[in-house]
Amino acid sequence: MRSSPRRRKRAKVQAPEPADVRERILATASALFYRLGVRAVGVDLVVAQAGVAKTSLYRYFRTKDDLIAAFLRREDEDFWGHWNRVAERHTGDPLAELEAHLDWIGERVGRANFRGCPQINVAAEFPDSDHPARRVAIAHKLELRRRLRLIAEGLRADRPDELAGQLSLLINGAFVSSQVISAEEAVPLLRGAANALIGPTRTLGRASKKRRP
């Protein structure tokens, strides 16, 4: 028995997979949050831009705060994914690894559409330490310092935690200074400042090692 045209037409219409709807909402919200600021973007704008019903948004994100936290986790995954790929190319050479990280971070800071570090931006908008998005932001910055400490240990710095803190301040400072740093000078400034920090600690580390019996 042949199906009617209406039945055939209905069979062609397929609802998007739930994962696709969730990703569309999150991708739309992430772009808006980053470009306009979290507080400036309402749920109505997100659903309108994503082309979904408000009920669909709340099916995947119970509150706007949950959506903000998901946005930061998405940015987190992107940042560390890039970091890991760079680190893998310089296994066993901490200085080359650090220089490579400063290169891609400087390139990112110098982009015309760069609006700062998402984690820092959101933390500034939500001073409450218990806010779910702020917790994600803090965890991201602690992870940055942990990874920089591993590099500092590889460089045999006398005080690796101190060097990691200094490098963390340098990188975060670049993120919040993008408006006054040109694309051409972002990488040279990062490299020059890092070399000023690394030089003495590496020299001291070697000297102390030579004095050991």
Same domain, 118 and 83: yes
pLDDT at residue 168, as a whole number:
97
**DSSP assigned state of 210:** H
Helix (H) or strand (E) holding 171: helix 160-176
pLDDT at residue 11, as a whole number:
45
- C-alpha 99/C-alpha 192 separation (Å) is 10
Work out the widest C-alpha separation in the chain, in whole angstroms.
93
Same domain, 89 and 54: no
Same domain, 134 and 75: yes
Domain boundaries, position 35: 15-62
Same domain, 72 and 56: no
Q: Which of 117, 109, 118 is nearest to 183 (CA)?
A: 109
Q: Which of 83, 71, 109, 132 is nearest to 193 (CA)?
A: 109
Encode 147-166: b = buried (16+ Cβ within 10 Å), e = exposed.
bbbebbeebebbebeebbeb
Same domain, 181 and 165: yes
Within 10 A of 139 (CB to CB), how many other CB atoms are there?
14
pLDDT at residue 212, as a whole number:
38
pLDDT at residue 200, as a whole number:
60
Same domain, 56 and 104: no
Q: Can you give the pLDDT of all 213 residues of the chain as single tens digits?
A: 454 555 544 444 455 556 699 999 999 999 999 999 999 999 999 999 999 999 999 999 999 999 999 999 999 999 999 999 999 999 999 999 999 999 999 999 999 899 999 999 999 998 888 888 889 999 999 999 999 999 999 999 999 999 999 999 999 999 999 888 888 999 999 999 999 999 865 533 343 343 333
Q: Are 119 and 75 in contact (CB under 8 A)?
A: yes
Q: Which residues contact 204 (CB under 8 A, 6 or more apart)?
A: 157, 158
Residue 102's domain is classified under what CATH number? 1.10.357.10
2 in a structural domain: no
Q: Which residues contact 169 (CB under 8 A, 6 or more apart)?
A: none
Separation in Å, CA 54 to CA 22, 28, 64, 126, 160: 12, 13, 11, 24, 49
pLDDT at residue 163, as a whole number:
96
7 in a structural domain: no
Within 10 A of 119 (CB to CB), how many other CB atoms are there?
23
Dig out the tokens for 142 from the structure: 């602690």
pLDDT at residue 53, as a whole number:
93
Helix (H, G, I), strand (E, B) or coil at 1: coil
pLDDT at residue 129, as a whole number:
84
Give the side-chain half-sphere CA count within 13 A for 145. 14
Number of domains within the chain: 2
